Every structure is written in C-alpha cells, then in structure tokens.
Amino acid sequence: MAAPNIVNVTSIYGKSMGAALGTSANTDILTCPANKVLKLNSIIISNVDGANAASFTLTFYDNSAATRYHLAKNIDIQPGSSLTIIGKDNPLYLEESDQIEGSASALNDLEIVISYEEIDDA
C-alpha cells in the first residue's frame, strides 16, 4: 500500500510512546500502521541507571527496501543523562510497515521516548 498523500490529510493525531530498551538486537519499538504515515518529531534516550553507563543502537527499518539504516550505533549514555536522536529540526517519516528498532547493552538501563504524529488521508 502506498503512503497517504499528506497534502490531503484528514487527520493528524499527536502521540507519544515510551519503552525500556532490551538487549535483543533489532527489537521493534515503533511500527507504522497500514494506510498511515508517522512523522517522528523527537526520539530521546535516557539512562535511568544511577551508577553505570550503557550503550545503545537505534535503526530505521525501511520495509520497502527490506534494509536497516543506523540512526545511532553503539552510543554510550552516562548514568542520569539523556540524548536526543531526532529533534524538531530533523523529523523522520515512517511509511506503512517501516519501523524504529533498537537495543541496549544492559537490560532496562535505557528508556526511549518517541513523540510523533500519525497522519491519515482517509
């Protein structure tokens, strides 16, 4: 299915989601639903461990090309710190079945928050 025409939008819903990053590679964090486009406004990774640094990898899976592209690879975050991967000035669009995937070096040490808009032309 083709991506919706964002010139003829019928609805835009602002959404946010959060998750703890696991240690399995290429774990699906956010998938674009059928007949929608997701405009990612921000992705923030935070280290919630009070004592240890942890690293993470974050990828964009382009379903139409069946290929992963790194947004960040093996990036260390110090305890109690956060890092913005995508901000307002550099949004990323996900088309149907595209995904944001990620993993961390330590289970539950890193959390991800994604702010996005779900766009539909139906």
Find how far residue 99's CA is from the centre of its chain.
Answer: 7
- Does the domain formed by 14-120 have CATH 3.40.50.11890? no
Q: Encode pLDDT of 8-44 as tens digits.
A: 889 999 999 999 999 999 999 999 999 899 999 999 9
- Do residues 6 and 12 lie in contact, with contact meaning Cβ atoms separated by under 8 Å? no
Q: Encode pLDDT of 52-73 as tens digits.
A: 999 999 999 999 999 999 999 9
Q: Encode pLDDT of 57-114 as tens digits.
A: 999 999 999 999 999 999 999 999 999 999 989 999 999 999 999 999 999 999 999 9
Q: Hey, is 95 helix, strand or coil? A: coil
Name the band, by pLDDT with cuts 50, 70 and 90, for residue 6. confident
